Structure 1
């Protein structure tokens, strides 16, 4: 990792904003000599700004105004795969406080001893994971909203009235969300910066606590397990319905054959 030794920012207080813009972001070819880091890719923008790009579709911009942010994101359009119609955002205020330890007071800004690239990248790592979790939490909640009526009806009546197609659509939606949420973002994974700068682990631990990254990831994984179980139950219901239809057809065929046999016997006795 190639990093500069001094802060890339000009002031003592700045804003970091994370944008979850797409499923994937191609960062190949953006590397240059003045990069602050390569994993994730971080570099200076304009005079006092910093951009940090994550391959799983998150862009974190520090020290840029709204117009500069929009211009920068537009420049990445051709690098986005699966661009979202609605992007998720998360913001953090960063303040230089050289007389204090790195800390995050309740309801206050993130206070740093220095605005070094290492510290800024750790903040970007936490923001990026948080904004991804926020989107996935919303998607998982939508799946729960669609499966809840099926579960309620099954609990009340012991059967499900939905058509085979509607059940299959529900299963497909559940599996799609499960696949997307179980994607390339490993919340518990240690940022690369910490391997070179272990003294910053306390700062990152505070960021994890502030954004409740581990707790949210654990809750999300639990809900994904419930989604998988729900999809399996719906699949079993479809299989059961199909088996019942086949059994009914077989019974009707047997009954028809019995009736034909009885008719033939009756006709044989009365020529």
Structure 2
């Protein structure tokens, strides 16, 4: 496995942080038995009587669910990091303090949220079973049971709830900054009109004089 990872590292694009990769992992003990493969009390039982091709497919079904859990854990860590970056905003708003975020920074954070939401709900297999298992019922059962054991569905639901809360907060910030910008523009217009009126009054005064 280490040898394969070393080969793949040469072709990585935007890799995850090394510390995060080592921290987020899933491990399940396995043993070979005589009889049907299954997940039993958090331990993988592999049928030792299968031929090589079928045995590889069953291992793939288990590992597919495990890697899905690791991928979700990576994104959970990303969301936790994002939440930490904005956790001071509600308290600042509550205390009536000025929030030190520009309009561009708020839009950037909204982009981060949309990207994370897209990864979880549209470009991954968290919400549906992959097509690979549609005509392989025995493998689908192993995959689904492992996903349930790793609480994939519940974790995705929790992440979406957190994302929704973060979206509401960033949307509130965007509206607040938009209103401040509109108010600033209104004051600029008022000042310009006032200056124009003063010039007009001055011109009229000098003409009369």
TM norm structure 2: 0.79
Q: Distance in 2 between the 1:118 and 1:219 partners?
A: 31
- Pick aligned residue for 1:82 from 11, 14, 18: 14
Q: Distance in 2 between the 1:232 and 1:204 partners?
A: 38
Q: Distance in 2 between the 1:174 and 1:128 partners?
A: 27
**1:191-225 CA deviation, whole Å, 9 max, x = no partner?**
34532321344333321221101111122222223
Contact 1:171 1:235 in 2 (8 A): yes
Contact 1:175 1:228 in 2 (8 A): no
Q: Unaligned regions of 5+ residues in structure 2, if any?
A: none
- Pick aligned residue for 1:253 from 177, 192, 208: 192
Residue of structure 1 in register with 2:99 after alignment: 161
Q: Distance in 2 between the 1:193 and 1:258 partners?
A: 74
Deviation of 1:120 after TM superposition, in Å, equals 0.8
Aligned residues between the structures: 197
Distance 1:79 1:181, change over 3 A: farther
Q: Distance in 2 between the 1:194 and 1:152 partners?
A: 48
Counterpart check, 1:178 vs 2:114: yes
Q: Distance in 1 between the 2:15 and 2:139 partners?
A: 33
Secondary structure of 1:139 counterpart: helix
Q: Distance in 1 between the 2:113 and 2:4 partners?
A: 29
Residue of structure 2 in register with 1:231 after alignment: 170
- Pick aligned residue for 1:216 from 136, 155, 167: 155
Q: Unaligned regions of 5+ residues in structure 1, if any?
A: 1-68
**1:148-181 CA deviation, whole Å, 9 max, x = no partner?**
2222222332x643142xx522431342243145
Q: Distance in 2 between the 1:84 and 1:111 partners?
A: 32
RMSD: 2.7
Distance 1:103 1:163, change over 3 A: closer
Q: Which has the higher contact order (CA 8 A, sep 6+)?
A: 2
Q: Distance in 1 between the 2:79 and 2:98 partners?
A: 22
Contact 2:134 2:140 in 1 (8 A): no
TM norm structure 1: 0.63
Q: Distance in 2 between the 1:82 and 1:110 partners?
A: 33
Q: Distance in 1 between the 2:106 and 2:26 partners?
A: 30
Secondary structure of 1:82 counterpart: coil
Secondary structure of 2:29 counterpart: strand
Deviation of 1:231 after TM superposition, in Å, equals 3.1
